[in-house]
Amino acid sequence: MAYRSLQQFIDILEKNNELIRIKRLVDPILEITEITDRMSKLPDGGKALLFENTGTEFPVLTNAMGSIKRMCLALGVDDLEDIRLEMSSLFKELAGPKDGLWEKLSTLPKLGKVASWMPSVSSGKGVCQEVVHMEPNIDLLPILKCWPYDGGRFITLPMVNTKDPHTGIRNVGMYRMQIFNEAETGMHWHQHKVGARHFEEYKKLGKPMPVAVTLGGDPVYTYAATAPMPDNFDEYLLAGFLRKKRVNLVKCLTVDLEVPADVDFVIEGYVDPSDDLAWEGPFGDHTGFYSLADWYPRFHITCITHRKNAVYPATIVGVPPMEDAYIAKATERIFLEPIRLTMLPELNDMNLPFEGVAHNIAIVKISNAYPGHAYKVMNALWGAGQMMFNKFLVALPDNVDVHNAHQVIECIVNSVDPERDIHFGKGPLDVLDHSSSMAGLGTKLFIDSTIRKELASDFSANYLEFSDEIEKNFAEVRTINTKMIQDGFPILFVSIDKSKVVTVKDTLERMFKNELLGKLTAIFALDFGDSIEDLSLALWFVAGNIDPQRDIHLISLDSDLRKRVGLDGTRKAYNTDNFSRDWPNVVLMDKKTIERVDEFWSELDLGEFISSPSIPLQSLQVGDEPIVRFGF
């Protein structure tokens, strides 16, 4: 379905009971974030929120794609699998072998359909240019400050339009923008991104780089800007395919770029390579940790245009699950098929769990046809686009449901010999990853669980025995989670006090050498405070804090040839860790904002009171700045 406007999408959300209007005045500084965070962590992502009174003339829409149902509504389908299957059919019809002339001619209508999705440029103005501000002031917009230690207010759903200066090929990316003053922002594009590559080409030419930032319009535009498209592939073609209607573009007023005619806002301007870089950040990021301040280009605003009744869209990211988790789930389903059809036909399914914040964890199901087949898949995926940022990759046989956590764990426990089936690699990491010793480069872990099940054990134990044993013998352990043991898996999560240990590895070795704890296959160690009841949060914390080769220890026992696995998922910010980079704090709301929202909750018409998700995690925040500084 092609939406004529963001307002039409809002109407559809409301019609489907997926939107709540908030009429009370809510401050874009922290308060919108706190309310959205409470809503987005409800089962199935809660509801979309439209804040109608923001202290500006524009309402703010958040959590609009923060559920599978709303993601489907945004993309105009009943099921995300529908897009995958349609893409599969299209690939096969266009690329498959054709036996004769008539069969070849039969593909022409399909080629015509593809052509009908190509963006077009119209003369004149679009509705996005109904109101024009030639003396721009970005403060007209209700731009959020999301988290307490953010460097300022940030535009969080910008569609950044740029062009290659040599080929003219367009790119639409999503790069956060910190507000510096009424006419300048940051442009946070990472070195791996196409926008950054365009910038480098303009730098070589010694020319300012035109940039047009759009907000709103058909939600498909926003999704396409986040999608992991190949370089030199127009995101508006993907949008055309998804909405089954070409994107109509109009010329900007002050820069030589085109933008969708029906978006809500257009922020025109340029980035000058001759400028000094600007100090940008910190920002409470989708990893659940702060991305720390660094040097990025400065964007100069030359003009702002918008619809007469524009809606400002924003997203809140932080400790998962939040809206970005559902956007990533759509990408997982949509882009599975191109990977299968162009690179890995043996890839039968893929799961990017919420705990992996889009790329840290990937679980794949493959047809394992020959020795080393899983490693071929590993190498291909780690070299494929944004999958190069993956840290933990698990390959499973084709009789396992990768979306069923119990089946996945059972397969790993019963088939993986750590010494035989665990492989450490090295490669690029997301610049936002804080765990590696060098920014943007670190190690990776591959688990081959496709080999026949030959290690099945009859593990059974009374979980209370483990609690008693640890309490008697390991004073450094603050609390444990025996949920996996209760489910029949020899895996234990422990929260430790690092001030009481020599090294985490030493503690893990001593635990495995205990007669009872030696029955376990794996122990996850965290410094998570006094409560690790939520295994989903614990797994997110471990995945974010681990550099695999440094922090995963294969431990030998005299009594058993099969090695045990100890994982050090603690923060490496203690003096004893000798870690050279700054370690970021977990993204949480401050107590004053939580208390303020508590006080006026009943005025929001959001139903039953929802406690702040930040409260149970407050022990994870160290100090009063975005950087963790332990005192020992």
- Determine the Cα–Cα distance for residues 62 and 289; give it in Å rounded to an integer: 20
If 0-12 CB within 10 Å is exposed, 13-18 middle and 19+ buried, where does residue 215 land? buried
The strand pair at 154-155 and 184-186 is best described as unpaired
Catalytic annotation, pick one of 150, 264, 285, 551? 285
* E strand segments, 352-429: 361-366, 392-397, 422-428
CA nearest neighbour of 73 among 11, 142, 161, 135: 11
**Which two three-digit tokens encode residue 116?**
């009908």
Show Cβ contacts of residue 421 under 8 Å, excluding neighbours closer than 6 positions. 415, 447, 448, 449, 451
Residues 6+ apart with CB under 8 A from 105: none
- Residue 115: helix, strand or coil by DSSP? helix
Cβ neighbourhood burial of 419 (10 Å; 0-12, 13-18, 19+): exposed
Q: Among 162, 256, 264, 187, which residue's Cα sits nearest to residue 218?
A: 264
Closest CA to 590 of 616, 618, 630: 618
Query: DSSP alpha helices (H): ranges in 546-626?
Result: 548-551, 591-600
Contact 210, 216 (CB under 8 A): no
C-alpha distances (whole Å) from 270 to each of 28, 205, 281, 298, 299 are 26, 15, 20, 9, 6
Encoding tokens for residue 286?
């989708």
Exposed, middle or buried: residue 605 (CB in 10 Å: 0-12, 13-18, 19+)? Answer: exposed
Neighbours of 345 (CB within 10 A): 11
Beta-strand pair 290-291/265-271: unpaired
Give dist(CA 333, CA 380) in Å, integer: 18
Nearest 10 degrees: Cα torsion 615, 617, 621, 627:
-120
With contact defined as beta carbons under 8 Å apart, do 236 and 249 qualify? Answer: yes
Classified as helix, coil or strand, 21 is strand
Helices (H), 167-322: 194-205, 219-226, 235-243
Mapped onto helix, strand or coil, the DSSP state of residue 308 is coil
Task: Answer yes or no: 99 catalytic.
Answer: no
Q: Is the dihedral of CA 228, 231, 236, 238 positive or negative?
A: negative
Contact 111, 90 (CB under 8 A): no
Dihedral sign, Cα of residue 77, residue 78, residue 84, residue 85:
negative
Q: How many CB atoms lie within 10 A of CB 399?
A: 8
Active-site positions?
A: 285
